Structure 1
Amino acid sequence: MMLKGIIFVVFVALSFNVAAVCSATSCSGKGKDVLLSIYPNGSGNVYLQAPADRANLNCVLIEGHYMTLKQSHPLFKEIYSTLLTGIAANKHMTIRIKTGSAGCEVSYVRMFV
């Protein structure tokens, strides 16, 4: 009976969603936690609202909140598509930024399937 109790506690502990976390170089978490909003602006760039843990990022966020996916990025369409898919499917993602960049430029995105 005690074994069933331990298994139940472990199962419940593993079922909780872990909020997104940011380091100096990236933010990681489930799709709906790692990005609070996506804002395509008039210049063709896309602003990605970083999670509450964004102060750890080593870059200058737009308006103190947004990472930037630049339209000039060679993989712009692929990264944007991956972000939208990751949010819709609530997949675990890592968004890597260019360290020290103005606008907190997105370097690449990794989605775990």
Structure 2
Amino acid sequence: MLLTCIIFVSANAVAGSCNTTSCTSTIKRIYPYGPHAQVRIELDDVNLSTLDCTAKEGNFLTLTKGDDQLLFSEVYSLLLTAAAKDDEVIFRIRNGSSSCELLYVMYYP
């Protein structure tokens, strides 16, 4: 039993990573940002400077509700689930965006 607990804890302690187009990480903080119908997502232990975008406030990815994000509610629900379970998510950003806007996410619970 002790060995199982140690493996579980160490598996969840793995730091996230980013490249120029995506990040894989758990979610540190997520909050709706009303004025622009956005959700801002802060990731755990990742350096967003390698992404080909400009992160909001230096450390947030952005999910924006709009015509090009037809699955906004479904993606937001997925992010809330992953955050509650402390599971990793793969975040694909729109290259060159001024707010590290999400194109899509992948979640393998």
Match of 2:59 in 1: 65
> Which residue, 28, 39, 57 being the options, matches 1:36?
28
- Structure 1: runs of 5 or more not aligned: 1-7
Shift of 1:15: 5.5
> Which residue, 64, 89, 97 being the options, matches 1:101?
97
Cα shift readout 1:6-41 (whole Å, capped 9, x = no counterpart): xx8xxx678622111111111103xxxx32211211
* Higher Rg: 1
TM-score between both structures, scaled by the size of structure 1: 0.77
> Which residue, 18, 27, 48 being the options, matches 1:54?
48
Count the aligned residue pairs: 100
Distance 2:81 2:7 in 1: 27
Shift of 1:88: 1.1
Task: Report the identity percentage.
Answer: 34
TM-score between both structures, scaled by the size of structure 2: 0.79
The alignment yields a C-alpha RMSD, in angstroms, of 2.0
2:71 aligned with 1:79: no
Displacement over 2 Å in runs of 4+: 12-15
| Code of the aligned partner of 1:75 | L
| Greater share of helix | 1
- Structure 2: runs of 5 or more not aligned: none
